[in-house]
A and B are shown apart, each in its own frame.
Chain A
């Protein structure tokens, strides 16, 4: 493939134009004269997890709550292992972020007193179908912000642990972009598609999380030697069966309970408030033969049913269509639920880059926000906005001391040939799709997927690690005929890097901290004496090196010292 080379310079490069990336760009653009460039694999108008919309802002300080009680809740739900400092700093900005979204045009449901209508203590109801177009419109209306849509960033440009920018390629034209920036912000989202999905055939991309979020940001950081945290705290969603539509809309919206096939409520009081235990209880009902499990909706009113149809059409139309296909609805039939395959998502769990209070990573001049930043679970939409604002503020305050440095031409040439060589590989024995499916099968069977009820053992992880290493070698020999195939190869390689790190993190935590999320058969109990620690890692010389770190409190100002 003959690529044209385009070299660009900007003050701030934001990789990923989803929720966090767009809001970060907007904050910088509105508060400085800095030039901002967003590079997005898709089109920012509908890219990222919010493509289809969302019907609630699930991180909000509701009536009677405070940022302190929010941190307490997240800490309890996450079995004590969170970066309290990060959760706290985001919590203090959640409501301001919601107000800002409303000012951008997002409809937020209000009661007769003009107060936001809450859905539980920490969630407010919105009409969020249009949430991403609103954010994108605000970004593109800024004079000092440019957007490169349909450009896949492959790797950072790094010199002496300092990120100088990034390199990527257009998905529409034969162009490789070399982008130098004073500061780079990773906002790429988390990783889906690591494990065999719920629906393996026709509907294999009917996932809970965007299948285009492939862990690219994590993988770039891993390859560059950034410190990562808490990959072993996976996220597994409890969803409507098959359609993978949200269950919270029903559970909180019409206040239903979870029942097994015998009609028994199976959640104990202590499990009702804990995200992973709601999932674990459901999985265990199936393991002991009392499944399938349901949300008990039978008997809800016609009005409630009608509202549920509308809610699902807005954000997960598959569920509404499924009801109509069966000529039924939630008032007539309970809704079957199941767990999804595991994901690595910093917006829900604590996985991601190890960052300081300003969301700076351990690589100089590189920030990570949103799903890419670790340590701060349950940030959801508003938490991602808050992190975008925190990083933006830090960039504005510190960028004067940063300069644009060019990477050496021979190193750029080497990077280009790393991208280009896939077009010149000989035809391999294995296809791109086969490598992806093999990776998902290995992870499912040996690294705690659906097949094993999310459990794993040291011996199984050993097999998984070996197979993932082999697949990385196989993937290097894959052949691309088109830019889209080149993208697919890059995505598989990124996922394999995430898998390699994930396996080592699962192995390192010798306890079971979060049921299902991290279910170690060799160590089935929680061990607070030894494991109130963050499991972190650095990829160096082809190996994942694990390091354990002490917990950080909510009032600490954590700065990197290494």
Chain B
């Protein structure tokens, strides 16, 4: 699993459930989204980019270099704000305009 959903931040909009390519997310009795099949997560970040509340965290497995850092997004119409918190609690913010291309 590389995705964590924070129930305290989840606003029960269901967008992540609809968007997951693997149909891995659903809402439970409390209407909060959760990952039904965590071991099957691909880490494609589709849910992360869809979440309007910044409730979904993406992190790396320990086997591929994860140390506890994570990232989440706040997506707006024109840009995506990437918020990254590294394992030593340093915070980074990278804004990517949807209408501007990558240099590479």
Chain A residues proximal to chain B, CB less than 8 Å: 41-43, 45-48, 51-52, 55, 107-109, 117, 119, 125-127, 129-130, 150, 171-172, 199, 201-207, 210-212, 242-243, 249-250, 252-254, 307-311, 313-314, 317-318, 320-322, 324-327, 484
Which partner residue on chain A sits nearest B50 by CB separation? A46
Measured between beta carbons, the chain B residues less than 8 angstroms from A55 are 101-102, 104
* Per-residue A-contact encoding for B46-67, CB less than 8 Å = 1, 0 else: 1001100000001111111111
Number of A-B contacts (CB under 8 A): 167
Q: A127-B102, A253-B103 are in contact. List 9 more A-B contacts (CB 8 A).
A: A43-B23, A46-B20, A125-B102, A127-B101, A211-B40, A243-B65, A309-B94, A324-B84, A327-B86
Cross-chain pairs A/B with CB under 8 angstroms, 30 sampled: A42-B20, A42-B23, A43-B19, A46-B19, A51-B21, A52-B44, A107-B98, A109-B101, A125-B103, A125-B104, A129-B98, A171-B23, A202-B61, A202-B62, A203-B63, A205-B43, A206-B2, A206-B64, A210-B42, A212-B21, A212-B22, A243-B60, A243-B65, A320-B82, A321-B59, A321-B71, A322-B64, A324-B90, A325-B66, A325-B67
**Interface residue ranges of B86-103 to A (CB < 8 Å):** 86-88, 90, 92, 94, 96, 98-103
Measured CB to CB, the closest approach of chain B to A490, in angstroms, equals 13
B21, B39, B58, B82 interface centre (most CB from chain A within 10 Å): B21
Looking at the assembled complex, report how far the CB atom of B70 sits from the nearest CB atom of chain A, in whole angstroms.
8
Q: Which residues of B contact A (CB under 8 A)?
A: 1-2, 18-23, 36-37, 39-46, 49-50, 58-67, 69-71, 80, 82, 84, 86-88, 90, 92, 94, 96, 98-104
Which of B22, B70, B84, B94 sits near A42, CB closer than 8 Å?
B22
- Is the pair A313, B59 in contact by a Cβ cutoff of 8 Å? no
Cβ-closest chain A residue relative to B66: A325
- Whether B104 contacts A308 by the Cβ 8 Å rule is yes
Main secondary structure of the interface of B (DSSP, over half): loop
Q: Which of B1, B21, B69 contacts A321 (CB 8 A)?
A: B69
Chain A residues near B66 (CB-CB < 8 A)? 325
B64 in complex: contacting residue of A41, A119, A125, A242, CB < 8 Å: A242
Given A46-B19, A119-B104, A484 and B37 contact (CB-CB distance below 8 Å): yes
Contact of A206 among B42, B87, B88, B90 (CB under 8 A): B42
For residue A206, which residue of chain B has the nearest CB?
Answer: B43
Complexed CA–CA distance, A317 and B46 (Å): 11
Known contacts A42-B20, A205-B40, A210-B21: A307-B104 contact under CB 8 Å: yes
Contacts of B45 in A (CB 8 A): 52, 317
The interface residues of chain A lying within 8 Å CB-to-CB of B86 are 324-325, 327
Question: Per a CB cutoff under 8 Å, which of B63, B96, B98 touches A201?
Answer: B63
Q: Are B87 and A325 in contact (CB under 8 A)?
A: yes
A321 touches B58 (CB 8 A): yes
